[in-house]
Structure 1
């Protein structure tokens, strides 16, 4: 009979959104590698949340890796959309919060919001000299980020432009993006 190696008990590392108190996230935190500033003022940058558990959503969470510069008060927000592109809720203004780094829990105005299980989009935009740097997974070629997908079902995209104080009620045409930002829904 051969012997078997024993390596000790398996270590359980929380890797599901619920393990950290979230309804969903775009990807596990251990998959994150860098931060990149939101590229264009007034452009809605989107990231899809897949298989969101049904429940009450109160906030969107992200991690700011680099402070935004000269952000315009009342014109820096995140918003939650259904997969069909309908606005669920917008956060309170983030102009002050995004001028420092760290984990940001952005309250959804009028919350909590009752969500059915399914897919959603998180969108973020800013007005100012330069946008905050948000944590993301590795930047790869746009065709790979959205491989096998087409609008309106992209993983990473941009949509509406010229966004300032209010989230669009519905998403405009989605354009593929390379930025796989990290967001969680709490």
Structure 2
């Protein structure tokens, strides 16, 4: 996602507005995140941190080499002067220096006109002090005696500056006033910079773990963690959780929440699985036997694209007299196309235990609904771990579901193999809520 470097700097800096330093024993203590996160500056924790903040912003915006790194404002002025990039006129994204020789305080300019500069400054307060408690948006007169001058970073796209001497000079664009990047530009820049969400965000594109801020105004912001992304251009899914790790949820490409779970609850991934019909801890003590010759379909929801290599079930009581090559497990799409099948399970199901049943060929599955199918033929069915089993005429596991989308259903009798396709709308709702999973 293309964006300008100056927009990235301003977006990252603005995202920190309202941040406060530590407070102990009745006073502010200069303990901040920035000193610990900028390489080489951790030893300055507890000291004035306005310059540390600008170093952190540059680092997070991906332009660390364009700003001086350190804690000494005087050294910052000297750094820009040595590069012949110091001016007494403001510029977008410029580092403004205050006080005698620019030694007392610093910040980042995000807009200016003929009279004022608008800045993001750290270690200040609502009064604009050179020592304060947090990160604030400030508005100052350019003519204030405290304003010393500006360092002009060598942005790849050039610098927009109020310095008339730089009009027509390569790498600079003269503008007597500039209101800075708009909200939409700042949002895109923040996404690209990795501060609001890490790396590039696009439908079907890459996203790494990071965070997203839902911002109402310059002072009100709700922070969320982005924990991952998967899917395709037609079915993207982004996973979020709040800063306390609670209320984990996922959204699809249209922005609809497609799942919301308590992070303290066990999920398939917690047991090394991709998806399951239900939490196996909720299975009943008795389990369920299968009727010979029926294919039992159990639906799983795969929230993210994944390769399915194994189907899983738990056998509580072994079967006996199982017919070779007529005891199988398989994987079907929600529309009834078989996309995976296991080898013969007659020996596997002739013993109790956790059953990991490899598909003969792994299947690269898109996010969506799938059916795991079980077929038994023989003398005595294995007893499979299952949820409630309340009789053929009472199937609460299919509540509010219609033909073709049942969660638990079965075929007609007389089946000896798993067909290449099955008409799911013709399946009969079933009360045997068998536990199955994909891995």
Matches of 1:180 and 1:143 in 2, distance apart? 9
Q: Deviations over 1:109-133 (max 9, x none)?
A: 12x2100000000110111012111
Name the TM-score, length of structure 1 as normaliser: 0.87
Corresponding position of 2:325: 74
Corresponding position of 1:50: 301
Paired residues for 1:7-156 under 5 Å: 15-34=266-285, 35-38=287-290, 40-110=291-361, 112-140=362-390, 142-156=394-408
Return the structure number with greater relative CO, CA threshold 8 A, min gap 6: 1
Corresponding position of 1:183: 436
- Tell me the C-alpha RMSD between the 2 structures: 1.6
2:410 equivalent to 1:161 = no
Q: Is the 8 A contact 2:311 2:329 kept in 1?
A: yes
Unaligned ranges ≥5, structure 2? 1-262
Name the TM-score, length of structure 2 as normaliser: 0.38
| Structure 1 position 171, deviation (Å) | 1.6
Matches of 2:303 and 2:353 in 1, distance apart? 24
Q: Is the 8 A contact 2:388 2:431 kept in 1?
A: no
User: Larger helix proportion, structure 1 or 2?
Assistant: 2
SS of equivalent to 2:385:
strand
Q: Deviations over 1:134-179 (max 9, x none)?
A: 0001223524221111110001110143222x31111231101001
Q: Is the 8 A contact 1:135 1:182 kept in 2?
A: yes
Tell me which of 422, 425, 428 is aligned to 1:171: 422
Unaligned ranges ≥5, structure 1? 1-11
- Radius of gyration: which is bigger? 2
The 4+ residue runs of structure 1 with deviation greater than 4 A are none
